Amino acid sequence: MDITKLVRSNILELKPYSSARDEFSGGASIFLDANESPYPTQYNRYPDPHQRKLKQRIGQLKKVNENQIFLGNGSDEAIDLLIRAFCEPGQDEIVIPQPTYGMYSVSASINNVITRAVTLTSDFDIDIHKTLAALSSNTKLLFLCSPNNPSGNLLNYEKVIELIEKIDGLVVIDEAYIDFTSSSGFVPLLNKYTNLVILQTLSKAWGLAGLRLGMCFANVEIISILNKIKPPYNISVASQLIAEERLNDEEGKDSRVREIINQRDRLASELIKLKSVERVFPSDANFLLVRIKNAKEAYITLLERGIVVRDRSTVLLCDDCLRISVGTPVENQKLLKELSQL
């Protein structure tokens, strides 16, 4: 697929901002090029706009070439930049299976880009016929979230492949929760499909939601377009340093993930025993979608007891559903106790 044909013409022609640190690379001991303060405060220098060291580490971890990695201020920045790079406002279209993560359609609306919603099947999987029917010659992006938020399930692998192969645009697979599954996801297919874009994040399994670091993996052409339009210093010095340090503790991350998976499975088996709970949807993520009698009331009662969960009861296919993040063993126990008293 010719990626340049998908890019908006103004973006293709854009001459990007060239920062002081872009124009100079090499060794120097006196930096008088960027109007920074010369006095060390730990943060007096601008960050590396290309985040080279951090990308090196991420590349090792994910077995991805460094020039196939884009880093954003959260995945949310990558979502926004993908829309701005590829979708001509008022003309191009984005297809979004529903229900899913809300930021895709919010970002599309902010950019005045048309969205086509396609309802997932009743078990929250891709409806292949409806999705193919929603694609048109104006479709530039298809967002797929796997494991899906708010349902927690992985999407069917073969259906995803079929869509990647049939679409004349990009397929963006959001794998924010991929560490909580045994699936290796779609990163291994990065070099097979030029129209494949994968989003991951340090916000969930890595426990760094406050840091704001999202990762986007794709072929070099797509990555260079994102780099061209991002704000030059989008990842702060502090974020880069902290992320580099934390990414060295993969074992720590893995052991916390194992604990969360254990707690998730225990929570699911305890929840289904409760009178008020009608269904606990299977989850490959760090949360559970739970159908419960009088969800709205349950939500308010939990709040009164100091526990906040996500009320999804007005969301498509999620009638009477709460989305509950897996907490610590003590927190989960408290949740079960309060729910059992409803």
Ligand X SMILES: *Cc1c(COP(=O)(O)O)cnc(C)c1O
Name the segment binding ligand X (CB under 6 A); options: 1-9, 69-77, 122-130, 251-259. 69-77
Contact pattern from residue 89 through residue 128 relative to ligand X, giving x for each residue in contact according to CB under 6 A and a dash for the rest: ------------x---------------------------
Residues 6+ apart with CB under 8 A from 253: 179, 205, 206, 207, 246
Q: Which stretch binds ligand X (CB under 6 A): 56-64, 70-78, 291-299, 322-330?
A: 70-78
CB of 38 to ligand X, least distance (A): 34
Tell me which of 75, 131, 240, 263 binds ligand X, using CB under 6 A. Answer: 75
- Sole window of 10-18, 200-208, 255-263, 333-341 interacting with ligand X (rule: CB under 6 A): 200-208
How near is the Cβ of 73 to ligand X at its closest, in Å?
8
Contact status: 209 vs ligand X (CB under 6 A): yes
Helices first, then strands: H and E counts in the chain:
12, 11
Which neighbouring-strand residues pair with 199?
174, 216
Query: How many residues in the shown chain lie near ligand X by CB under 6 A?
Result: 13
Residue owning tokens 């993560």: 101
Q: Is 139 in the site for ligand X (CB under 6 A)?
A: no
Residue 197's contacts (CB-CB under 8 Å, 6 or more residues apart) are: 82, 170, 171, 172, 173, 216, 217, 218, 222
Select the residue interacting with ligand X from 76, 80, 179, 320 (CB under 6 A).
76
Closer by beta carbon to ligand X, 21 or else 180: 180
Q: Which residues pair with 325 in a beta bridge?
A: 287
Binder among 47, 49, 74, 152 for ligand X (CB under 6 A) = 74
- When the beta carbons of 174 and 339 are compared against ligand X, the nearer one is 174
Residue 333: strand pairing partners = none
Q: Compute the least distance from the CB of residue 156 to ligand X, in Å.
A: 17
Span from 57-65, 118-126, 202-210, 297-305 in contact with ligand X (CB under 6 A)? 202-210
The answer to whether residue 146 forms part of the interface with ligand X (CB under 6 A) is no
Stretch in the footprint of ligand X (CB under 6 A) among 27-35, 40-48, 108-116, 196-204: 196-204
Minimum distance, C-beta of residue 2 to ligand X, in the bound complex (Å): 28
The rounded distance, in Å, linking the Cα atoms of 212 and 231 is 15
149 near ligand X, rule: CB under 6 A: yes
Peptide bond into 40 cis (omega under 30): no
Site residues for ligand X, 274-313, by CB under 6 A, read none
Distance CA(196)–CA(164), nearest Å, equals 7
Interhelix angle for 295-304 vs 329-340, to 10°? 120
CA triple 31-34-39, angle to 5 deg:
60
Distance between first and last Cα of the chain: 55
Residue 149: CB atoms within 10 A of its CB come to 22
Q: Which residues pair with 28 in a beta bridge?
A: none
| Cβ-based nearer residue to ligand X, 7 or 145 | 145
Residues that bind ligand X (CB under 6 A): 74-76, 101, 145, 149, 174, 176, 201, 203-204, 209, 214
